[in-house]
């Protein structure tokens, strides 16, 4: 048997854990999804936990540059977003919308999002976090990102995972993840090649 070919360039997927709430469920969902990404040899993953990045809620004045600890935090995240070929936002739904933490991440950056695809893994109660996803789509459009139609959502999420953090319906969850990842990869390759031929400008 011959060896499986390794892609010349692996796609880097930045997985953003949006919730920063104490006792949050997001890391459980994110760990499972990162495992799904790990099944694809052409992908590498950078998990960005917004509870750890330290981006402040107060912005510098227009035209001014951040300074001190703010500059360090902003630059560290900026480099990780810039290096990504695609993004996946793991988000709950807070009050019919998305957490302020993920909007803060988007607002601190701009060109890092341009002409790159964004997928969503949402979780919550009856709505499964889907209202957060639908409200994030126009926000990402404003920073020239392309959102992937297919999503993964967990309705009544706390009852959808076992004590080990695995979905109780692994087959259907895995199928939904595979479809979304396939779409994300397609867009990541297409947009990466397009940017290489003609840099995206605003």
Q: Please give the residue range of the domain that contains residue 156.
A: 11-59+67-195
User: Looking at residue 139, what is its pLDDT?
Assistant: 98
Residue 202 lies in a domain: no
User: Looking at residue 9, what is its pLDDT?
Assistant: 77
Residue 167 lies in a domain: yes
**Domain count of the fold of the chain:** 1
Residue 144 lies in a domain: yes
Task: Give pLDDT tens digits for 151-165.
Answer: 999 999 999 999 999
Task: Give pLDDT tens digits for 131-142.
Answer: 999 999 999 999
The CATH number covering residue 38 comes to 3.40.50.360
Q: Could you give the angle at the alpha carbon of 121 between the alpha carbons of 92 and 44, nearest 5°?
A: 130
State the pTM of this model. 0.92
The answer to whether residues 20 and 161 touch, using CB atoms and an 8 Å cutoff, is no
């Amino acid at each position: 048997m011959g060896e499986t070919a390794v892609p010349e360039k692996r796609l880097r997927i930045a997985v953003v854990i949006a919730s920063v709430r104490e006792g949050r469920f997001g890391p459980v969902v994110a760990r499972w999804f990162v495992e799904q990404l790990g099944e694809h040899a052409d992908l590498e993953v950078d998990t960005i936990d917004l509870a750890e990045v330290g981006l402040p809620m107060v912005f510098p004045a227009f035209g001014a540059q951040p300074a001190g600890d703010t500059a360090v935090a902003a630059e560290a995240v900026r480099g990780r977003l810039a290096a990504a070929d695609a993004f996946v936002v793991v988000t709950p739904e807070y009050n019919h919308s998305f957490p302020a933490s993920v909007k803060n991440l988007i607002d601190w950056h701009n060109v890092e999002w341009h002409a790159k695809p964004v997928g969503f893994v949402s979780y919550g109660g009856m709505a499964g976090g889907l209202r957060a996803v639908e409200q994030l789509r126009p926000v990402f459009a404003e920073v020239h990102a392309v959102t992937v139609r297919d999503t993964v959502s967990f309705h009544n999420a706390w009852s959808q995972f076992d004590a080990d953090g695995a979905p109780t319906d692994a087959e259907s969850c895995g199928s939904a993840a595979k479809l979304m990842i396939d779409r994300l990869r397609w867009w990541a390759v297409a947009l990466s090649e397009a940017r290489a031929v003609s840099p995206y400008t605003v």
